[in-house]
Structure 1
Amino acid sequence: MEFFDKVGKAALGSRLRLMTAVVTDDAAKIYELYGVDFMPKWFPVFYTLAEEREITITEIANEIGHSQPSVSKIIQEMTVAGLVQESLKTDDKRKNNVVLSEKGLLIWKNVQLQLQDVDKAIEGIISEAKHNLWAALEEWDFLLQQKSLLKRVNEQKKQRESQKVEIVEYKPEYHEAFRSLNVEWISTYFEMEEADYKALDNPDEYILNKGGKIFVALYQNEPVGVCALIKMNNPEYDYEMAKMAVSPKAQGKSIGWLLGQAIVNSARELGAKKIYLESNTILKPAINLYYKLGFEKVYGLETPYKRCNIQMELVVS
Protein backbone atom coordinates (compact mmCIF):
# COMPACT_ATOMS: atom_id res chain seq x y z
CA MET A 1 0.00 0.00 0.00
CA GLU A 2 1.17 3.52 -0.81
CA PHE A 3 0.80 4.74 2.79
CA PHE A 4 3.09 2.05 4.19
CA ASP A 5 5.60 2.56 1.37
CA LYS A 6 5.68 6.24 2.31
CA VAL A 7 5.89 5.83 6.10
CA GLY A 8 8.21 2.83 6.05
CA LYS A 9 9.14 0.57 8.95
CA ALA A 10 7.88 3.04 11.56
CA ALA A 11 4.35 1.87 10.65
CA LEU A 12 5.14 -1.76 11.53
CA GLY A 13 2.46 -1.91 14.24
CA SER A 14 -0.20 -0.41 11.96
CA ARG A 15 0.69 -2.78 9.15
CA LEU A 16 0.54 -5.81 11.45
CA ARG A 17 -2.82 -4.65 12.84
CA LEU A 18 -4.19 -4.29 9.31
CA MET A 19 -3.02 -7.77 8.37
CA THR A 20 -4.40 -9.12 11.66
CA ALA A 21 -7.77 -7.53 10.89
CA VAL A 22 -7.82 -9.13 7.43
CA VAL A 23 -6.87 -12.59 8.76
CA THR A 24 -9.30 -12.32 11.70
CA ASP A 25 -12.14 -11.35 9.34
CA ASP A 26 -11.36 -14.39 7.19
CA ALA A 27 -11.12 -16.58 10.29
CA ALA A 28 -14.67 -15.68 11.30
CA LYS A 29 -15.88 -16.60 7.82
CA ILE A 30 -13.91 -19.86 7.92
CA TYR A 31 -15.71 -20.90 11.12
CA GLU A 32 -19.02 -20.18 9.33
CA LEU A 33 -17.80 -22.29 6.41
CA TYR A 34 -17.51 -25.27 8.74
CA GLY A 35 -20.80 -24.54 10.47
CA VAL A 36 -19.13 -23.53 13.73
CA ASP A 37 -20.62 -20.72 15.81
CA PHE A 38 -17.35 -19.46 17.19
CA MET A 39 -15.37 -16.21 17.71
CA PRO A 40 -11.75 -16.28 16.49
CA LYS A 41 -10.45 -14.62 19.68
CA TRP A 42 -11.64 -17.67 21.67
CA PHE A 43 -9.35 -20.06 19.82
CA PRO A 44 -6.20 -20.02 22.07
CA VAL A 45 -8.31 -20.66 25.18
CA PHE A 46 -10.50 -23.22 23.41
CA TYR A 47 -7.50 -25.10 22.02
CA THR A 48 -5.77 -25.18 25.41
CA LEU A 49 -8.88 -26.60 27.05
CA ALA A 50 -9.21 -29.19 24.29
CA GLU A 51 -5.60 -30.28 24.83
CA GLU A 52 -5.46 -30.02 28.64
CA ARG A 53 -9.06 -31.14 29.23
CA GLU A 54 -9.18 -29.54 32.70
CA ILE A 55 -7.21 -26.47 33.76
CA THR A 56 -7.47 -23.26 35.80
CA ILE A 57 -7.89 -19.81 34.29
CA THR A 58 -4.47 -18.80 35.66
CA GLU A 59 -2.86 -21.83 34.02
CA ILE A 60 -4.53 -21.00 30.70
CA ALA A 61 -3.27 -17.40 30.90
CA ASN A 62 0.28 -18.60 31.55
CA GLU A 63 0.05 -21.15 28.74
CA ILE A 64 -1.10 -18.75 26.01
CA GLY A 65 0.66 -15.58 27.24
CA HIS A 66 -2.52 -13.57 27.88
CA SER A 67 -3.50 -11.65 31.00
CA GLN A 68 -5.72 -13.40 33.54
CA PRO A 69 -8.53 -10.79 33.22
CA SER A 70 -8.51 -11.30 29.43
CA VAL A 71 -8.81 -15.07 29.81
CA SER A 72 -11.51 -14.70 32.46
CA LYS A 73 -13.57 -12.56 30.06
CA ILE A 74 -13.18 -15.10 27.25
CA ILE A 75 -14.15 -17.95 29.60
CA GLN A 76 -17.29 -16.01 30.57
CA GLU A 77 -18.21 -15.48 26.91
CA MET A 78 -17.60 -19.16 26.08
CA THR A 79 -19.65 -20.19 29.11
CA VAL A 80 -22.58 -18.08 27.92
CA ALA A 81 -22.17 -19.72 24.48
CA GLY A 82 -22.37 -23.12 26.18
CA LEU A 83 -18.83 -24.22 25.23
CA VAL A 84 -17.25 -24.20 28.69
CA GLN A 85 -18.33 -25.21 32.17
CA GLU A 86 -16.79 -25.43 35.62
CA SER A 87 -15.31 -28.80 36.46
CA LEU A 88 -17.26 -30.81 39.01
CA LYS A 89 -14.45 -33.32 39.52
CA THR A 90 -12.08 -31.25 41.60
CA ASP A 91 -12.45 -31.16 45.39
CA ASP A 92 -10.23 -28.13 45.77
CA LYS A 93 -12.64 -25.20 46.07
CA ARG A 94 -9.76 -22.71 45.81
CA LYS A 95 -9.20 -23.73 42.18
CA ASN A 96 -11.63 -22.60 39.52
CA ASN A 97 -11.04 -25.42 37.05
CA VAL A 98 -12.86 -25.25 33.73
CA VAL A 99 -13.47 -27.82 30.99
CA LEU A 100 -15.16 -27.99 27.62
CA SER A 101 -18.84 -28.79 27.77
CA GLU A 102 -20.45 -31.51 25.62
CA LYS A 103 -21.22 -28.81 23.05
CA GLY A 104 -17.61 -27.64 23.22
CA LEU A 105 -16.29 -31.18 22.67
CA LEU A 106 -18.62 -31.62 19.69
CA ILE A 107 -17.37 -28.37 18.14
CA TRP A 108 -13.78 -29.49 18.79
CA LYS A 109 -14.33 -32.43 16.41
CA ASN A 110 -15.36 -30.05 13.62
CA VAL A 111 -12.55 -27.61 14.45
CA GLN A 112 -9.94 -30.38 14.15
CA LEU A 113 -10.94 -30.93 10.51
CA GLN A 114 -10.92 -27.18 9.97
CA LEU A 115 -7.40 -26.94 11.43
CA GLN A 116 -6.10 -29.51 8.96
CA ASP A 117 -7.43 -27.49 6.02
CA VAL A 118 -6.19 -24.18 7.43
CA ASP A 119 -2.74 -25.65 8.04
CA LYS A 120 -2.49 -26.83 4.42
CA ALA A 121 -3.76 -23.46 3.16
CA ILE A 122 -1.06 -21.64 5.16
CA GLU A 123 1.55 -24.06 3.84
CA GLY A 124 0.37 -23.13 0.36
CA ILE A 125 0.95 -19.42 1.04
CA ILE A 126 4.41 -20.18 2.46
CA SER A 127 5.33 -22.12 -0.67
CA GLU A 128 4.18 -19.24 -2.89
CA ALA A 129 5.85 -16.50 -0.86
CA LYS A 130 9.45 -15.42 -1.12
CA HIS A 131 9.73 -15.09 2.69
CA ASN A 132 8.45 -17.54 5.30
CA LEU A 133 6.30 -15.32 7.53
CA TRP A 134 5.68 -18.07 10.07
CA ALA A 135 9.41 -18.69 10.60
CA ALA A 136 10.04 -14.93 10.63
CA LEU A 137 7.38 -14.38 13.33
CA GLU A 138 9.02 -17.00 15.53
CA GLU A 139 12.40 -15.33 15.02
CA TRP A 140 11.02 -11.83 15.67
CA ASP A 141 9.24 -13.02 18.79
CA PHE A 142 12.50 -14.42 20.14
CA LEU A 143 14.46 -11.26 19.31
CA LEU A 144 11.85 -8.97 20.90
CA GLN A 145 11.88 -11.09 24.04
CA GLN A 146 15.64 -10.59 24.22
CA LYS A 147 15.29 -6.82 23.72
CA SER A 148 11.95 -5.06 23.35
CA LEU A 149 11.14 -2.63 20.56
CA LEU A 150 10.82 0.10 23.20
CA LYS A 151 14.37 -0.53 24.41
CA ARG A 152 15.70 -0.65 20.85
CA VAL A 153 14.02 2.65 19.96
CA ASN A 154 15.31 4.22 23.18
CA GLU A 155 18.85 3.16 22.25
CA GLN A 156 18.48 4.78 18.84
CA LYS A 157 17.11 7.94 20.48
CA LYS A 158 20.11 8.09 22.80
CA GLN A 159 22.52 7.50 19.95
CA ARG A 160 20.95 10.24 17.81
CA GLU A 161 20.83 12.76 20.65
CA SER A 162 24.35 11.91 21.80
CA GLN A 163 25.63 12.99 18.40
CA LYS A 164 24.54 16.52 19.32
CA VAL A 165 26.60 16.41 22.52
CA GLU A 166 30.01 18.08 22.39
CA ILE A 167 32.69 17.26 24.97
CA VAL A 168 35.02 20.20 25.57
CA GLU A 169 37.79 21.00 28.03
CA TYR A 170 37.10 23.25 30.98
CA LYS A 171 37.24 27.03 30.69
CA PRO A 172 36.65 29.58 33.49
CA GLU A 173 33.26 30.35 31.96
CA TYR A 174 32.16 26.81 32.88
CA HIS A 175 33.01 27.14 36.59
CA GLU A 176 29.46 27.86 37.68
CA ALA A 177 28.13 24.87 35.71
CA PHE A 178 30.85 22.61 37.17
CA ARG A 179 29.89 23.65 40.66
CA SER A 180 26.09 23.81 40.33
CA LEU A 181 25.73 20.47 38.52
CA ASN A 182 27.74 18.70 41.22
CA VAL A 183 25.98 20.46 44.09
CA GLU A 184 22.64 19.47 42.54
CA TRP A 185 23.30 15.72 42.37
CA ILE A 186 25.23 15.49 45.65
CA SER A 187 22.49 17.34 47.53
CA THR A 188 19.84 15.11 45.97
CA TYR A 189 21.30 11.92 47.43
CA PHE A 190 23.79 12.96 50.13
CA GLU A 191 25.23 15.98 51.92
CA MET A 192 27.94 18.26 50.65
CA GLU A 193 31.26 17.64 52.43
CA GLU A 194 34.42 19.67 52.97
CA ALA A 195 36.30 17.92 50.15
CA ASP A 196 33.44 18.80 47.77
CA TYR A 197 33.60 22.49 48.55
CA LYS A 198 37.37 22.60 48.07
CA ALA A 199 37.30 21.04 44.61
CA LEU A 200 34.15 22.77 43.38
CA ASP A 201 34.98 26.25 44.69
CA ASN A 202 38.61 26.15 43.55
CA PRO A 203 38.95 23.80 40.55
CA ASP A 204 42.12 25.53 39.34
CA GLU A 205 43.92 25.06 42.64
CA TYR A 206 42.70 21.55 43.50
CA ILE A 207 42.42 19.97 40.02
CA LEU A 208 43.85 21.82 37.03
CA ASN A 209 47.06 23.26 38.49
CA LYS A 210 48.00 19.83 39.84
CA GLY A 211 47.96 18.26 36.39
CA GLY A 212 44.31 17.25 36.20
CA LYS A 213 41.60 17.99 33.69
CA ILE A 214 37.92 18.84 33.67
CA PHE A 215 35.61 18.00 30.77
CA VAL A 216 32.28 19.66 30.05
CA ALA A 217 29.43 18.20 28.00
CA LEU A 218 27.58 20.76 25.91
CA TYR A 219 24.12 20.08 24.50
CA GLN A 220 22.86 22.81 22.21
CA ASN A 221 25.76 24.91 23.57
CA GLU A 222 24.52 24.56 27.16
CA PRO A 223 26.73 22.87 29.82
CA VAL A 224 24.74 19.83 30.94
CA GLY A 225 27.44 17.49 32.24
CA VAL A 226 30.89 17.63 33.83
CA CYS A 227 33.60 15.26 34.99
CA ALA A 228 37.12 15.68 36.39
CA LEU A 229 40.36 13.75 36.06
CA ILE A 230 42.28 14.45 39.25
CA LYS A 231 46.01 13.76 39.65
CA MET A 232 46.57 11.47 42.63
CA ASN A 233 49.47 11.39 45.03
CA ASN A 234 49.38 7.61 45.24
CA PRO A 235 52.00 5.03 44.15
CA GLU A 236 49.32 2.71 42.72
CA TYR A 237 47.00 5.14 40.95
CA ASP A 238 47.85 7.96 38.57
CA TYR A 239 44.48 9.69 38.38
CA GLU A 240 41.02 9.68 39.93
CA MET A 241 37.85 10.08 37.91
CA ALA A 242 35.61 12.29 40.03
CA LYS A 243 32.95 14.97 40.13
CA MET A 244 30.87 13.47 37.32
CA ALA A 245 27.46 15.10 37.19
CA VAL A 246 24.77 15.26 34.51
CA SER A 247 21.77 17.55 34.56
CA PRO A 248 18.50 15.62 35.08
CA LYS A 249 16.99 17.42 32.08
CA ALA A 250 19.76 16.05 29.85
CA GLN A 251 19.77 12.44 31.02
CA GLY A 252 19.13 9.72 28.46
CA LYS A 253 21.58 11.15 25.93
CA SER A 254 24.60 8.97 26.86
CA ILE A 255 26.32 12.03 28.34
CA GLY A 256 27.83 10.08 31.24
CA TRP A 257 29.25 7.55 28.79
CA LEU A 258 30.74 10.28 26.58
CA LEU A 259 32.29 12.05 29.58
CA GLY A 260 33.68 8.76 30.89
CA GLN A 261 35.25 7.98 27.54
CA ALA A 262 36.81 11.46 27.40
CA ILE A 263 38.29 10.94 30.87
CA VAL A 264 39.72 7.50 30.00
CA ASN A 265 41.14 8.68 26.69
CA SER A 266 42.72 11.71 28.34
CA ALA A 267 44.28 9.56 31.06
CA ARG A 268 45.68 7.28 28.39
CA GLU A 269 47.19 10.25 26.54
CA LEU A 270 48.77 11.44 29.79
CA GLY A 271 50.44 8.05 30.21
CA ALA A 272 48.29 6.83 33.10
CA LYS A 273 48.32 3.14 33.97
CA LYS A 274 45.44 3.06 36.45
CA ILE A 275 42.42 5.27 37.14
CA TYR A 276 40.61 5.21 40.49
CA LEU A 277 37.09 6.29 41.47
CA GLU A 278 34.79 6.38 44.47
CA SER A 279 31.01 6.13 44.48
CA ASN A 280 27.98 4.80 46.31
CA THR A 281 26.01 1.69 45.39
CA ILE A 282 22.64 3.49 45.57
CA LEU A 283 23.70 5.24 42.35
CA LYS A 284 22.95 2.18 40.21
CA PRO A 285 23.04 3.87 36.78
CA ALA A 286 26.44 5.36 37.64
CA ILE A 287 27.81 2.03 38.87
CA ASN A 288 26.58 0.32 35.69
CA LEU A 289 28.30 3.03 33.65
CA TYR A 290 31.59 2.47 35.45
CA TYR A 291 31.43 -1.26 34.80
CA LYS A 292 30.63 -0.54 31.15
CA LEU A 293 33.72 1.68 30.97
CA GLY A 294 35.79 -1.23 32.30
CA PHE A 295 36.15 -0.37 36.00
CA GLU A 296 36.32 -3.16 38.60
CA LYS A 297 35.86 -3.16 42.38
CA VAL A 298 38.84 -2.64 44.70
CA TYR A 299 39.09 -2.35 48.49
CA GLY A 300 41.06 -0.70 51.23
CA LEU A 301 41.91 2.86 50.21
CA GLU A 302 41.25 5.76 52.58
CA THR A 303 38.57 8.18 51.45
CA PRO A 304 37.66 11.70 52.59
CA TYR A 305 33.99 11.10 51.75
CA LYS A 306 31.40 9.68 54.15
CA ARG A 307 29.15 8.73 51.23
CA CYS A 308 31.72 6.43 49.61
CA ASN A 309 30.93 2.72 49.97
CA ILE A 310 32.44 1.41 46.74
CA GLN A 311 35.89 1.94 45.20
CA MET A 312 36.81 0.98 41.67
CA GLU A 313 39.79 0.96 39.35
CA LEU A 314 40.44 0.83 35.64
CA VAL A 315 43.67 -0.48 34.15
CA VAL A 316 44.33 1.80 31.21
CA SER A 317 45.59 -0.26 28.29
Structure 2
Amino acid sequence: MYDVIADMGPSFLGSRLKRLAERLQAGAMATIAEAGLPLQPGHMAILAALRGGAMTIGQLSEVIGISQPAVTRSVGQLVALGILDRATCADQRTRRLALTAAGEAAAQQAATDLWPRIGVAAEELLADLSAPFLPQIAAIERALDAASIAERAARARPGGLRLREFEPALAADFHDINAQWIGAMFALEPTDREVLENPQSRIIAPGGTILFVEAPGLGVVGTCALQKTGPTSFELTKMGVRESARGLKAGEFLLAAMIDRARTLGADPLYLLTNAKCAAAIHLYAKLGFVHDAGIMARYGTRYARCNVAMLYRGQP
Protein backbone atom coordinates (compact mmCIF):
# COMPACT_ATOMS: atom_id res chain seq x y z
CA MET A 1 0.00 0.00 0.00
CA TYR A 2 1.21 3.51 -0.83
CA ASP A 3 2.58 5.29 2.26
CA VAL A 4 2.52 9.04 1.67
CA ILE A 5 4.38 9.94 4.89
CA ALA A 6 7.24 7.52 4.18
CA ASP A 7 7.26 8.54 0.53
CA MET A 8 7.84 12.20 1.39
CA GLY A 9 11.15 11.38 3.05
CA PRO A 10 12.91 13.95 5.27
CA SER A 11 10.26 16.60 4.54
CA PHE A 12 7.80 14.64 6.67
CA LEU A 13 10.26 13.61 9.40
CA GLY A 14 8.14 15.16 12.17
CA SER A 15 4.98 13.43 10.96
CA ARG A 16 6.76 10.10 10.67
CA LEU A 17 8.24 10.37 14.15
CA LYS A 18 4.81 11.35 15.52
CA ARG A 19 3.28 8.31 13.86
CA LEU A 20 6.03 6.11 15.27
CA ALA A 21 5.52 7.60 18.74
CA GLU A 22 1.79 6.93 18.55
CA ARG A 23 2.43 3.28 17.70
CA LEU A 24 4.92 2.93 20.54
CA GLN A 25 2.60 4.65 23.01
CA ALA A 26 -0.34 2.48 21.97
CA GLY A 27 1.69 -0.57 22.97
CA ALA A 28 2.75 1.07 26.23
CA MET A 29 -0.89 1.98 26.96
CA ALA A 30 -1.95 -1.64 26.57
CA THR A 31 0.80 -2.74 28.96
CA ILE A 32 -0.21 -0.08 31.52
CA ALA A 33 -3.86 -1.13 31.30
CA GLU A 34 -2.89 -4.78 31.74
CA ALA A 35 -1.07 -3.81 34.94
CA GLY A 36 -4.30 -2.29 36.29
CA LEU A 37 -3.05 1.31 36.55
CA PRO A 38 -5.44 4.13 35.54
CA LEU A 39 -2.60 6.01 33.85
CA GLN A 40 -1.48 7.01 30.36
CA PRO A 41 1.98 6.86 28.75
CA GLY A 42 2.20 10.65 28.97
CA HIS A 43 1.91 10.47 32.76
CA MET A 44 4.96 8.27 33.18
CA ALA A 45 7.63 10.96 32.86
CA ILE A 46 5.90 13.00 35.58
CA LEU A 47 5.86 10.00 37.92
CA ALA A 48 9.52 9.36 37.21
CA ALA A 49 10.43 13.00 37.86
CA LEU A 50 8.47 13.27 41.12
CA ARG A 51 9.97 10.11 42.58
CA GLY A 52 12.95 12.32 43.36
CA GLY A 53 10.87 14.87 45.27
CA ALA A 54 8.28 17.62 44.87
CA MET A 55 8.52 20.06 41.94
CA THR A 56 6.71 23.03 40.49
CA ILE A 57 5.01 22.97 37.08
CA GLY A 58 7.92 24.97 35.69
CA GLN A 59 10.50 22.56 37.05
CA LEU A 60 8.60 19.58 35.66
CA SER A 61 8.39 21.25 32.28
CA GLU A 62 12.15 21.82 32.30
CA VAL A 63 13.22 18.33 33.34
CA ILE A 64 10.75 16.57 31.04
CA GLY A 65 11.33 18.93 28.12
CA ILE A 66 7.71 19.60 27.15
CA SER A 67 5.62 22.76 27.36
CA GLN A 68 4.08 23.99 30.60
CA PRO A 69 0.51 23.80 29.20
CA ALA A 70 1.05 20.14 28.33
CA VAL A 71 2.47 19.43 31.80
CA THR A 72 -0.43 21.31 33.40
CA ARG A 73 -2.97 19.15 31.56
CA SER A 74 -1.31 15.94 32.68
CA VAL A 75 -0.93 17.21 36.25
CA GLY A 76 -4.66 18.04 36.37
CA GLN A 77 -5.49 14.50 35.31
CA LEU A 78 -3.15 13.01 37.92
CA VAL A 79 -4.53 15.21 40.70
CA ALA A 80 -8.07 14.10 39.77
CA LEU A 81 -6.91 10.47 39.97
CA GLY A 82 -5.43 11.01 43.43
CA ILE A 83 -1.90 10.35 42.18
CA LEU A 84 -0.58 13.87 42.83
CA ASP A 85 -1.21 16.53 45.45
CA ARG A 86 -0.53 20.27 45.35
CA ALA A 87 1.19 21.95 48.29
CA THR A 88 1.78 25.69 48.73
CA CYS A 89 5.46 26.67 49.00
CA ALA A 90 6.91 28.93 51.67
CA ASP A 91 6.52 32.06 49.53
CA GLN A 92 2.73 31.36 49.31
CA ARG A 93 2.79 32.09 45.57
CA THR A 94 4.12 28.83 44.09
CA ARG A 95 2.67 25.38 44.41
CA ARG A 96 4.77 22.27 44.34
CA LEU A 97 3.50 18.92 43.20
CA ALA A 98 4.19 15.69 45.06
CA LEU A 99 3.16 12.07 44.81
CA THR A 100 0.38 10.96 47.17
CA ALA A 101 0.50 7.58 48.85
CA ALA A 102 -1.38 6.14 45.88
CA GLY A 103 1.04 7.93 43.57
CA GLU A 104 4.05 6.48 45.38
CA ALA A 105 2.56 2.99 44.99
CA ALA A 106 1.84 3.55 41.30
CA ALA A 107 5.35 4.91 40.70
CA GLN A 108 6.88 1.95 42.53
CA GLN A 109 4.87 -0.52 40.46
CA ALA A 110 5.85 1.30 37.27
CA ALA A 111 9.54 1.38 38.22
CA THR A 112 9.76 -2.28 39.23
CA ASP A 113 7.47 -3.85 36.62
CA LEU A 114 6.21 -1.62 33.80
CA TRP A 115 9.28 0.37 32.82
CA PRO A 116 11.65 -2.63 32.82
CA ARG A 117 9.27 -4.71 30.67
CA ILE A 118 8.61 -1.88 28.22
CA GLY A 119 12.35 -1.19 28.14
CA VAL A 120 13.12 -4.80 27.21
CA ALA A 121 10.51 -4.60 24.43
CA ALA A 122 12.10 -1.40 23.12
CA GLU A 123 15.56 -2.96 23.22
CA GLU A 124 14.27 -5.79 21.02
CA LEU A 125 13.09 -3.22 18.46
CA LEU A 126 16.48 -1.52 18.47
CA ALA A 127 18.60 -4.69 18.49
CA ASP A 128 18.90 -5.10 14.71
CA LEU A 129 19.69 -1.48 13.87
CA SER A 130 23.06 -0.81 12.28
CA ALA A 131 23.89 1.97 14.76
CA PRO A 132 22.73 2.87 18.28
CA PHE A 133 19.41 4.71 17.97
CA LEU A 134 19.09 6.59 21.25
CA PRO A 135 22.35 8.54 20.79
CA GLN A 136 21.10 9.54 17.36
CA ILE A 137 17.89 10.89 18.91
CA ALA A 138 20.02 12.82 21.41
CA ALA A 139 22.06 14.25 18.55
CA ILE A 140 18.87 15.40 16.76
CA GLU A 141 17.64 17.02 19.97
CA ARG A 142 20.94 18.86 20.44
CA ALA A 143 20.79 20.05 16.84
CA LEU A 144 17.25 21.36 17.41
CA ASP A 145 18.47 23.18 20.51
CA ALA A 146 21.00 24.94 18.30
CA ALA A 147 18.49 25.82 15.57
CA SER A 148 14.86 24.81 15.09
CA ILE A 149 13.35 23.34 11.94
CA ALA A 150 11.75 26.73 11.28
CA GLU A 151 15.11 28.50 11.52
CA ARG A 152 16.79 25.94 9.31
CA ALA A 153 13.97 26.01 6.74
CA ALA A 154 14.15 29.81 6.58
CA ARG A 155 17.79 29.72 5.52
CA ALA A 156 17.57 26.62 3.34
CA ARG A 157 18.33 27.03 -0.34
CA PRO A 158 17.59 23.68 -1.98
CA GLY A 159 20.15 22.84 -4.63
CA GLY A 160 19.79 20.64 -7.68
CA LEU A 161 19.04 17.00 -8.21
CA ARG A 162 21.90 14.51 -7.91
CA LEU A 163 22.51 10.97 -9.02
CA ARG A 164 23.30 8.01 -6.81
CA GLU A 165 24.62 4.63 -7.85
CA PHE A 166 23.05 1.38 -6.72
CA GLU A 167 24.05 0.04 -3.34
CA PRO A 168 22.32 -2.66 -1.26
CA ALA A 169 20.90 -0.05 1.12
CA LEU A 170 18.91 1.43 -1.80
CA ALA A 171 17.36 -1.88 -2.89
CA ALA A 172 14.19 -1.10 -0.92
CA ASP A 173 13.81 2.24 -2.74
CA PHE A 174 14.21 0.47 -6.09
CA HIS A 175 11.48 -1.98 -5.12
CA ASP A 176 9.05 0.44 -3.51
CA ILE A 177 9.18 3.22 -6.12
CA ASN A 178 8.50 0.79 -8.95
CA ALA A 179 6.00 -1.40 -7.09
CA GLN A 180 3.98 1.72 -6.29
CA TRP A 181 3.53 2.98 -9.84
CA ILE A 182 3.18 -0.45 -11.46
CA GLY A 183 0.63 -1.54 -8.87
CA ALA A 184 -1.32 1.70 -9.26
CA MET A 185 -1.62 1.42 -13.05
CA PHE A 186 -1.39 -2.30 -13.76
CA ALA A 187 -0.58 -5.41 -11.76
CA LEU A 188 2.83 -6.68 -10.74
CA GLU A 189 3.78 -9.55 -13.05
CA PRO A 190 6.13 -12.40 -12.08
CA THR A 191 8.97 -10.84 -14.10
CA ASP A 192 8.42 -7.56 -12.21
CA ARG A 193 8.65 -9.26 -8.85
CA GLU A 194 11.74 -11.23 -9.83
CA VAL A 195 13.63 -8.07 -10.85
CA LEU A 196 12.38 -5.83 -8.04
CA GLU A 197 13.11 -8.36 -5.33
CA ASN A 198 16.53 -9.36 -6.71
CA PRO A 199 18.12 -6.26 -8.27
CA GLN A 200 21.67 -7.35 -7.50
CA SER A 201 21.41 -10.72 -9.24
CA ARG A 202 19.00 -9.74 -12.02
CA ILE A 203 20.36 -6.29 -12.98
CA ILE A 204 23.80 -5.56 -11.54
CA ALA A 205 25.58 -8.94 -11.71
CA PRO A 206 24.88 -9.59 -15.44
CA GLY A 207 26.38 -6.21 -16.35
CA GLY A 208 23.48 -3.79 -16.02
CA THR A 209 23.14 -0.78 -13.78
CA ILE A 210 20.64 1.00 -11.55
CA LEU A 211 20.66 4.74 -10.92
CA PHE A 212 18.73 6.82 -8.42
CA VAL A 213 17.90 10.51 -8.33
CA GLU A 214 17.95 12.32 -5.01
CA ALA A 215 16.25 15.66 -4.31
CA PRO A 216 17.28 18.01 -1.48
CA GLY A 217 14.88 17.65 1.43
CA LEU A 218 13.09 14.68 -0.14
CA GLY A 219 15.78 12.00 -0.34
CA VAL A 220 15.64 9.38 -3.10
CA VAL A 221 12.72 10.23 -5.37
CA GLY A 222 13.31 8.18 -8.50
CA THR A 223 15.11 5.21 -10.01
CA CYS A 224 15.79 3.54 -13.34
CA ALA A 225 17.60 0.41 -14.51
CA LEU A 226 19.51 -0.80 -17.55
CA GLN A 227 19.07 -4.55 -17.86
CA LYS A 228 21.49 -6.39 -20.12
CA THR A 229 19.50 -8.64 -22.46
CA GLY A 230 22.22 -9.67 -24.94
CA PRO A 231 25.91 -9.21 -25.71
CA THR A 232 25.35 -5.48 -26.36
CA SER A 233 21.58 -5.04 -26.00
CA PHE A 234 20.14 -3.23 -23.00
CA GLU A 235 16.58 -2.62 -21.92
CA LEU A 236 15.81 0.63 -20.11
CA THR A 237 13.41 -0.58 -17.47
CA LYS A 238 11.89 -0.03 -14.06
CA MET A 239 11.87 3.75 -14.27
CA GLY A 240 9.70 5.45 -11.67
CA VAL A 241 9.53 8.76 -9.79
CA ARG A 242 7.73 9.38 -6.53
CA GLU A 243 4.71 11.65 -6.40
CA SER A 244 6.62 13.87 -3.96
CA ALA A 245 9.00 14.87 -6.79
CA ARG A 246 6.31 16.03 -9.19
CA GLY A 247 7.36 19.28 -10.85
CA LEU A 248 11.09 18.83 -10.19
CA LYS A 249 11.80 17.25 -13.62
CA ALA A 250 13.43 14.37 -11.80
CA GLY A 251 12.29 11.91 -14.47
CA GLU A 252 13.93 13.83 -17.31
CA PHE A 253 17.11 14.28 -15.26
CA LEU A 254 17.24 10.55 -14.53
CA LEU A 255 16.45 9.46 -18.08
CA ALA A 256 19.16 11.70 -19.56
CA ALA A 257 21.69 10.27 -17.11
CA MET A 258 20.66 6.72 -17.95
CA ILE A 259 21.03 7.36 -21.68
CA ASP A 260 24.55 8.65 -21.04
CA ARG A 261 25.31 5.53 -19.01
CA ALA A 262 23.98 3.32 -21.81
CA ARG A 263 26.39 5.01 -24.23
CA THR A 264 29.34 4.24 -21.96
CA LEU A 265 28.24 0.60 -21.85
CA GLY A 266 28.06 0.44 -25.65
CA ALA A 267 24.33 -0.33 -25.63
CA ASP A 268 23.18 -1.41 -29.10
CA PRO A 269 20.27 -1.56 -29.17
CA LEU A 270 18.97 0.49 -26.26
CA TYR A 271 15.23 -0.05 -26.06
CA LEU A 272 12.27 0.05 -23.70
CA LEU A 273 8.91 -1.66 -23.33
CA THR A 274 5.88 0.13 -21.95
CA ASN A 275 2.13 0.62 -22.29
CA ALA A 276 0.12 3.31 -24.05
CA LYS A 277 -1.46 4.23 -20.70
CA CYS A 278 1.92 5.71 -19.70
CA ALA A 279 1.38 8.68 -22.00
CA ALA A 280 3.47 11.18 -20.02
CA ALA A 281 6.41 8.78 -19.87
CA ILE A 282 6.16 8.00 -23.59
CA HIS A 283 6.22 11.73 -24.35
CA LEU A 284 9.40 12.07 -22.26
CA TYR A 285 11.03 9.08 -23.98
CA ALA A 286 10.30 10.60 -27.38
CA LYS A 287 11.63 13.99 -26.27
CA LEU A 288 14.98 12.41 -25.37
CA GLY A 289 15.37 10.36 -28.54
CA PHE A 290 13.30 7.16 -28.38
CA VAL A 291 11.08 6.20 -31.32
CA HIS A 292 8.36 3.57 -31.72
CA ASP A 293 9.80 0.43 -33.30
CA ALA A 294 7.93 -2.61 -34.58
CA GLY A 295 11.10 -4.73 -34.66
CA ILE A 296 11.71 -4.22 -30.95
CA MET A 297 8.08 -5.09 -30.24
CA ALA A 298 8.36 -8.31 -32.24
CA ARG A 299 11.65 -9.32 -30.65
CA TYR A 300 11.13 -8.35 -27.01
CA GLY A 301 7.49 -7.32 -26.50
CA THR A 302 6.26 -10.63 -25.16
CA ARG A 303 8.25 -10.14 -21.96
CA TYR A 304 5.35 -8.31 -20.28
CA ALA A 305 1.65 -9.03 -20.69
CA ARG A 306 0.96 -5.29 -20.40
CA CYS A 307 3.42 -4.30 -23.16
CA ASN A 308 1.82 -2.69 -26.20
CA VAL A 309 4.49 -0.04 -26.90
CA ALA A 310 8.13 -0.68 -27.79
CA MET A 311 10.66 2.08 -28.39
CA LEU A 312 14.22 2.17 -29.69
CA TYR A 313 16.78 4.85 -28.88
CA ARG A 314 17.80 6.73 -32.02
CA GLY A 315 19.28 9.82 -30.41
CA GLN A 316 17.97 13.36 -30.38
CA PRO A 317 17.73 15.11 -33.74
For Structure 1 versus Structure 2, the TM-score category normalised by the shorter chain is 0.3 to 0.5
TM-score normalised according to structure 1 size? 0.47
| Larger Rg over CA atoms | 1
> RCO greater where, 1 or 2, for CA within 8 Å and sep 6 or more?
2
